[in-house]
Amino acid sequence: MPRAMSAERESPEPRVSARDLNDMSPPSTDALTPGFWPFWFLIDVWPATQAIACFSIFVWSVVNWHRMSLSDRCLYTLTHMLFLRWVNVIHHNHVHVEMFRHTVVNEVFHHMCAIIDNLPPSGFRLKHVKNHHSYHHAPEDWNSPFIFAGSRFPDRPVHPVYYVVTFELMAICATFLEMAKRGPWCLARFGLEYMVPVVFLPLLYTLGVVHDLTPVILFGFVSHRLSLFVLAIANIIHHGGRNGRDRNDLANTDLSLNGTKLDFNVGYHAAHHLAPRVHWSQLPEYHKKRVGPMYAKKTFSNQEAENRRLFVQIFGDRHLASVCAWVLFRCVWSAPF
C-alpha cells in the first residue's frame, strides 16, 4: 500500500517542525482504483502515458538521427528540450506517490524518467523527499541559495546565475557524501543508478543501434545539464521570497495554466510542501481547504523574490503550451511509424 493511502489525520498545529510535515496524509483516497488495476489512481494513466510517449519519441529520434534532414533534427531537439520539464514534473510526482501497484514497474518507470532528466531514483528520494522537504529551501537544504559565503537567510541569497551553474555539482556531492554515511550498499546503489542515464546512449552507440555520435552528446550530456539547470530555476520560482523555516511561508503558489493543468499541479507548491504525500490530483482540494487563507496576505520583499520575478518573466510564458502542442503534432505527423 503506498504512502498516499494512509489514514486521514487532523491538521497539525502551527508550531509543528518541518520534518513532521512529511507525516501529513492526503485529504481523501476516493480516487483509488480496484485491486486489479496496475495504477493506484486512475488519473495517473495520463502522466504515465505522457512520460512513455516522451521517452519513445526520445529513443526513436536518437536511433533515426542519421536519416533525418536538418530541419527534422532541429524539430526533435526542440521537442526533447521542451519535454524535459514535463518528464521532470511527472518523475517528481512519482517519487512522492508512486503510480503503480508493483515495485518492479515503479522502479522501471523511475529509471525511464531518469534517462531523460538525469535524476537517479535513490538520489532523488534522498535529496528531494528527505532533505528538500525537511528544510524547504532553508540553509539546511543541500541546494539552498543560502549555503554560500556572502549569503544571508532569508533576504540575501547567492547570485541566481551562480546558484544555477553550481546546482548539479552541489547536489551530486551532497548526495554522494550522505550515501557514503549510510553504508557501502547505499553508495554503490546510487553510483550504479547514476550511471544508467550516463551510459544509456553511449551503450546504444557502441552496440550500433545509434549510428551518429551527435545525438549521444546532445541528448545525453547537454540535455542532462539543461535538465538540472531548469530544476534549479524551478527551485527559485517555487521558493523565491519565502522563509522555509516558517510553516506558513514554505513555498509559492502558481495557479496559471502552466502551474496547474500542464505541470500536473506542481504550481500548488505551498500545498505540496505542507503535505508532500498528497496525490498531485488532490492538491487543488487541499490548497482550497488549508493553504488559500494562510497565504492570502503574503508578499514578496527580498532579493530572492526579485530573482523569482525575473525567472517567471523569462520562463513563465503561458504560450509555451501552444508551442509544445504544435511541436508534438509536427513530430507525430512526420514520424514514419
| pTM as predicted | 0.82
Q: In whole angstroms, what is the distance from residue 272 CA to residue 22 CA?
A: 10
- State which residues of the chain have pLDDT below 50: 1-29, 297, 299, 301, 317-319, 322, 333-337
Answer whether 34's CB lies under 8 Å from 72's CB.
no
Q: What is the model's pLDDT at position 293? A: 66
pLDDT for the residue numbered 27: 39
**Residues 317-326: contacts with CB within 8 Å, 24+ apart?**
318/256, 318/257, 318/258, 320/82, 320/258, 320/262, 321/257, 321/258, 321/262, 323/82, 324/82, 324/83, 324/86, 324/262
Burial of 148 (0-12, 13-18, 19+ CB in 10 A): middle
CA-wise closest residue to 258 among 227, 237, 286, 287: 237
Q: Is the peptide bond before 154 cis (omega within 30 degrees of 0)?
A: yes
Angle at 196 between CA 42 and CA 81, to 5 degrees: 65
In three-state secondary structure terms, 195 is helix
DSSP SS3 for 152: strand
In terms of residues, how long is the chain?
A: 337
CA distances from residue 53 to 80, 198, 248, 336 in whole angstroms, order as listed: 11, 21, 38, 15
pLDDT for the residue 19: 40
